[in-house]
Structure 1
Amino acid sequence: MATMADVARSAGVSVATVSHVLNDTRPVLPHTRQAVLDAVEELGYTTNTLARSLVTARTRSIGLAVSAISNPYFTEILQGVEAAALEAGYSLLIADPHDDPEHERKVVQLLHERRVDGMIVAPSAKPRELLAYLSRHCVPAVLLDRLVDPPNAEGGPRFDQVCADNAEPMSRLVTHLAGLGHRRIGLVAGLPGLSTTSERIMGYRSGLAFSGLSYDERLLVHGDSESAGAERATADLLSSGAPPTALVTGNNAMTIGALRALRARGVSVPDGMALCCFDDFAWADLFSPRLTAVAQPSKEIGARAVRVLLERLGEPDRPARTVRLPCTFVHRTSCGCPDPSESPATSVPHKRPGKPSDDPSDVETRR
């Protein structure tokens, strides 16, 4: 097996220069850099990651704790995390906490014991033990998608956080339905305790108020962020004395559950019930009717979380920050509108009703 010294001899440079090229620790003249890279290729040299980790106290690995198996939404986020980590030269260790607070703390501890340099975690609805563990062991971490981090003594977040905007895109769905004449708009909301659930409920109520509609608590049900729960919740709505004429679902899994409940009762979409959903997904365009949805920038959320974590590793003492990425309103036909695919524009960036359109950009909050 070739060594760094072999590479140095072949390239006619010092071992230190080879190290600077491979680890990007100091600028090297372009022709010298190329000579080292050519020697690496010719000799088949590979970095001894274990040896380097002993010297640098870094493993160049990231721990990722998300419920990707039980929640399809996280699959695209995982893809974004993996791509960004690989590009930065980091490996990825993945664990599924199954949205269970006790299991969540255990998998984070296991990742920490494997000496990952930092972690990206999508917390459960009750993350007290998780946050306590990360704080106690000073683990560099980014909270993903769900903002459950309480403020520190200075009023800012304790951990970096990356998520999508939730309230205003949900408001957009509600005002869109109201603009089509609906006066009883129901919401199948997610699991109580998650910030995504509370923020989307806030957006739902904001959209009603903006449209001049009263909030009716009977039209808001919880599907607990899963298909089966949404199916039960939607069935309850349909069985009520005054069911809604339009429905908004709080995530992609609950959209499937709501559609099952509607089909079981012979309610067609959009003629019997207009439907909009938070979370677009790969086959939403294949349903009949095609689903009007808010699309989250899932891969970019994952990639941004990696970049924020790497910045944290480079500057451990900088203030924590929260980064929010914009969503996109995808206009299709389940809302009851004519097929927008016949017009040139079928997807527009989300903007709050009544405000002029601006180019979408992420919003970053520092405390």
Structure 2
Amino acid sequence: MLNIREIAKLAGVGKSTVSRVINNTGYVSEDTRKRIEKVMKENGYHPSAVARSLSKQQTNSIGIIIPQANNLFFNEIITGVENVVGENGYVLSFSNTNNDPDKENNAVLAFIEQRVSGIILQPTFSYEDAIYQEHLCKTLSRLQAPIVLVDRPLKHSVWDGVFFDGYLASYQATTALIENGNKTIGIITGNLDMQLARERFEGYIQAMKEHNISVQEKYVLRGDFTMETAYKLVKECLKEGTIPDAFFTTNNFATIGFLKAIIENNMTIGRDIACISFDYIDFADVLGMNLSYVGRHNNMGELAGKLLIDRISNNEFPQRIETVQPRLVLNGSEKSQIIYFYQKRDRSHKRMGGEFYQKWE
């Protein structure tokens, strides 16, 4: 295959002119551009992507770093980002840190070496540690390309970001459980050292306070956003007989752990206990659980991808922060049949007999 020097000779131009055409940099007259492109096409010349990236000091790759590859939420982020950057001619390179700060640091360094055109970062659980955050920000600042943070903010960040109003989501979910007749409402939290977990817990507290319902410590299950911990905590509640009317589960892994414990105890959500999940759980629909949930109005990955593409196109924009609002979807699990039948009986002032009430009264 011909090289740039030979293409330039056949087209009757200098090598620098051919280079400007290949890399789409600098001015080249339309006639000259067409003549060079014609020579390249006739001789089957395809410019090396590596060579182009070296001349521009960056590749056509976008790096994305996520903390949990096995989490449906983060998979949705990747899909959203890929849809946007792919439409704009970029290839997505993916790294999973498994919430390990060392892996996160290595991923950032690798993307810097690869000269990616930008990074979308969802930090590890260590993002709130002041010393680690300072180190991470210094490492990120070495990248001479745009960065967009997703879901987990960094203090004093100068970068664009896409975040979710977890406080409002928790407030809406807890309010819905209250308004559907549940008198005792529990919550499975994340690690409350994390801002995300605190925001969701505070939304729950505020809804309970506004409805004059006391928060009982035995119904506050202090988890860590993992399925295993949520499962263990709910099993302990079942064993001790301290199960509330309803639970709000503050992430999808907590929901899965909760459902596993409930099913093992031969209970059904929407019948024996009410529940609203944080985020949509796809397998719940498959199993016909009719699980209510509070989700997100927009795909955060798509928003992050758009912010990054805009920043690549024009780095003069002021810092942009997008806050995605919650979307409450009530499918029936927000009220158990026990509560429904008791309310119906109370309204009619009649005792509704039968085995169901003999069992529960």
Partner in structure 2 of residue 101 of structure 1: 101
Structure 2 counterpart of 1:57: 57
5 Å matches for 1:197-236? 197-236=197-236
Give the aligned partner of residue 349 of structure 2. none
Q: How does 1:275-294 map to 2 (within 5 A)?
A: 275-294=275-294
Q: Does residue 138 of structure 2 align to residue 135 of structure 1?
A: yes
Q: Deviation string for 1:20-70 (max 9, x for gaps)?
A: 7984988999x9999999998887664422222222212122211113423
Q: What is the alpha-carbon root mean square deviation over aligned residues?
A: 3.5
1: CA distance, partners of 2:40 / 2:328:
48
- Distance of 2:275 and 2:187 partners within structure 1: 10
Amino acid of the structure 2 residue aligned with 1:260: K
- 1:110-259 to 2 correspondences below 5 Å: 110-127=110-127, 128-129=131-132, 131-136=134-139, 138=141, 139=143, 140-147=146-153, 149-151=154-156, 157-240=157-240, 242-259=242-259
| Counterpart in the other structure of 1:320 | 319
Query: Which whole-Å deviations, capped at 9, do the CAs of 1:324-358 have from their partners, x for residues lacking one?
Result: 122322221222379xxxxxxxxxxxxxxxxxxxx
Whole-Å separation in 2 of the counterparts to 1:119 and 1:249: 31
SS, match of residue 126 in structure 1? helix
* Cα separation, 1, equivalents of 2:237 and 2:18: 69
Equivalents in 2 of 1:207, 1:60: separation in Å? 47
Q: What CA deviation, in whole Å up to 9, does each residue of 1:269-301 have, x standing for no partner? A: 222210110110333322332111122357x31
Corresponding residue pairs, total = 327
Q: 1:50 to 1:18 in 2, by over 3 A?
A: closer
Structure 2 residue runs without a partner (length 5+) = 338-361
C-alpha distance 115-270 of structure 1, shift in aligned 2 (>3 A): same
Please say if residues 21 and 33 of structure 1, whose CA atoms lie closer than 8 Å, have aligned partners that are also in contact. Answer: no
CA distance in 2, matches of 1:274, 1:48: 59
| 1:97-134: CA deviation from partner (whole Å, max 9, x where unpaired) | 10122322222222222222321111122125355233
Structure 2 contact 62–117 (Cα < 8 Å) conserved:
yes
CA distances 1:128-182 after superposition (whole Å, capped 9, x unpaired): 53552333551332211122x113xxxxx43322122211122111111101111
Contact 1:20 1:28 in 2 (8 A): no
2-side partners of 1:17 and 1:296: how far apart?
A: 48
Structure 1's 235 and 60: CA in aligned 2 closer, same or farther, altered over 3 A?
same
Letter matched to residue 74 of structure 1: F
Q: SS at the partner of 1:283? A: helix
Distance 1:55 1:221, change over 3 A: same
The letter for the 2-side match of 1:329 is: L
| Aligned pairs for 1:49-88 within 5 A | 49-88=49-88
1:195/1:87 CA distance change after superposition, 3 Å: farther
Structure 1 spans left out of the alignment, 5+ residues: 152-156, 339-367
**Deviation, structure 1 residue 264:** 2.1
Partner of 1:352: none
Structure 2 CA distance for partners of 1:174 and 1:320, relative to 1, 3 Å: same
Distance 1:202 1:37, change over 3 A: farther
Change (3 A) 1:17 1:293: farther
Partner of 1:285, secondary structure, is helix
Q: Tell me, yes or no, if the aligned pair for 1:63 and 1:111 is still in contact at 8 Å.
A: yes
Q: Greater Rg, structure 1 or structure 2?
A: 2
Tell me which amino acid in the other structure corresponds to 1:336: K
Cα pair distance change 1:48/1:69, threshold 3 Å: same
Q: Indicate if the aligned counterparts of 1:81 and 1:303 stay in contact, CA closer than 8 A.
A: yes
Find the aligned partners of 2:119 and 2:78 in 1 and give their Cα distance: 13
Shift of 1:263: 1.7
Aligned-pair identity in percent equals 26
CA distance in 1, matches of 2:168, 2:322: 16
> Structure 1 counterpart of 2:83, which letter?
A
**TM, length-normalised to structure 1:** 0.76
Alignment partners' CA distance in 2, 1:258 and 1:69: 21
Alignment-mate amino acid for residue 250 of structure 1: T
Q: Secondary structure in 1 aligned to 2:148?
A: strand
TM-score if structure 2 supplies the norm length?
0.77
| Partner deviation per Cα, 1:290-321 (whole Å, 9 max, x = no partner) | 111122357x3112212222333444465433
Residues 66 and 96 of structure 2 are in contact (CA less than 8 Å); yes or no, is this contact kept in structure 1?
yes
Task: Report deviation, 1:71.
Answer: 2.1
Which structure's residues are more often helix, by fraction? 2
